Amino acid sequence: MAIPSTPVNFYVQQGNGQIYLSWDIVSATPALTAYQVQRSTDGVTFSVVASPVANEYLDATAIIGILYYYKVAATNADGTSAYTTAQSIVATLPGEMTLGEIRLRAQQEADQQNSTFLSTPEWNFNINQSYYELYDLLITAYEDYFIAPRLTFATDGISQLYDLPNGQNYTGAPALYKLYGVDLGLDQSNNARVSLKKFDFMSRNRYVYPQLTSTYLGVFNLRYRLVGNKIMFIPTPSANQIIGLWYYPRLRTMLKDSDTMDGFSGWTEYVILDAAMKAMGKEESDTTQLMNRKLLITKRIEAAAMGRDAGQPDTISNSRSRAESWGGFGGPGDSHGGY
């Protein structure tokens, strides 16, 4: 007769906002009565959250974004075993992973778990760089992926240059990474809008004098271009015209182990593999296998981009062919009189 042995192969996993615990079955005499699962939010003060009979437990009470520590023991009539070493994890929304979990998966891929060859700050830096690389790939391939809410501001009638959002100068607006599109409200309105085009830099002084470009609706034929951390308009906009910016925001840097990647459900493996490759590259190990897997994911991203907006795919009109079939733009044989 004796108390049970400590459970072995204790694993903690998360998904769908829940945390799943599993371990090997413990054999004991007298027979096992239950397991004791303890949970903590600081790794010091633990309390029992469940006493399952099976060698698993699904914690559906975990709060998303909170770092939890778990440990488990086995119990029979003679007493309770020693608890396992505590394992930590954060519950996240479906498809998301935290920095801590991504780092662990990358270390496993690089076969460097528990290795000190790279420090934790080095791992975190590599993961963030891989994260930014994935983001740039996605917004390049998908074009309209992860766009920030439209930012609007009014012109003053004097300035050509206006500040771009940097995360602080427009209340609640994230910092700009890449500009996607610019709107102009007509008649000082935020409801009737037209899309603005870029101007060629050679045209920067086109409307300096005379400035015959205004109507009661405001300046017409307005164009924009990015200049440093500002957006420049030609000609100078009328006062109180509404400008709307559509753009891709800069990503947050993941610092704490509980920080999560922003909205990349399905492509997290790219970051894991790339971070593992960076670590193995420093160690001068062969990364061919991981590189091949990363290339397959890249191809999947590009293939998925071809079918984006499945409900109403983006299309581009072939205006040259149309013009030729109509006899040119406003020329002989053009019954439509051009555009």
Instruction: Measure the CA angle with vertex 202, ends 196 and 206; round to 5°.
Output: 70
Q: Which fold has domain 11-90?
A: Immunoglobulin-like (2.60.40)
Residue 329 and residue 336: Cα distance in Å, rounded? 8
Q: For the residues 290-315, what does the mean pLDDT come to?
A: 77
**50 neighbors 59 (Cβ within 8 angstroms):** yes
- pLDDT bin (cut points 50, 70, 90) of residue 67 is very high
Compute how many other C-beta atoms are within 10 angstroms of the C-beta atom of residue 218: 22
Name the token pair of 282.
């420093």
- How far is 17 from 92, CA to CA, in rounded Å? 5
Closest to 123 in 3D by CA, of 275, 287, 284: 275
**Token pair of 38 as six digits:** 């303890």
Other Cβ atoms less than 10 A from the Cβ of 16: the count is 14
pLDDT in the model for residue 226: 93
The answer to whether residues 98 and 260 touch, using CB atoms and an 8 Å cutoff, is yes
163-170, long-range: CB < 8 A, 24+ apart: 163/229, 163/230, 164/226, 164/229, 164/230, 164/231, 164/245, 165/245, 165/247, 166/229, 167/250
Half-sphere exposure of 92 (CA within 13 A, CB side): 23
> Residue 315 — pLDDT band, cuts 50, 70, 90?
low
**CA–CA gap between residue 312 and residue 11 (Å, rounded):** 44
Domain spans of the chain, in order of start: 11-90, 99-143+262-306, 151-249
pLDDT of residue 121: 95
CB 280 within 8 A of CB 115: no
pLDDT of 326 above 60: no
* pLDDT for res 216: 43
Give the global pTM: 0.77
**Rounded alpha-carbon distances, angstroms, from residue 290 to 46, 48, 264, 283:** 39, 41, 20, 14
The pLDDT tens digits of the residues spanning 163-202 come to 999 999 999 899 999 999 999 987 666 677 888 989 888 7
Checking if the pLDDT of 336 tops 50, the result is no
For residue 198, give Cα distances in angstroms to 183, 185, 194, 207, 289: 12, 16, 13, 14, 43
What pLDDT, on the 0 to 100 scale, is given for residue 332? Answer: 40
User: Tokens representing 294?
Assistant: 């990363």
Residue 218: beta bridge partners? 215
Calculate the average pLDDT of the chain.
Answer: 85
The candidate with the shortest Cα–Cα distance to 263, out of 134, 126, 78, 79, is 134
Q: What is the mean pLDDT of residues 227-255?
A: 92
How far is Cα 291 from Cα 59, in angstroms, rounded to an integer?
36
* Other Cβ atoms closer than 10 A to 9: 9
Percent of the chain topping pLDDT 70: 83
pLDDT of residue 304: 80
Which of 136, 133, 137 minimizes the C-alpha distance to 125?
Answer: 133
Mean pLDDT of 53-75: 96
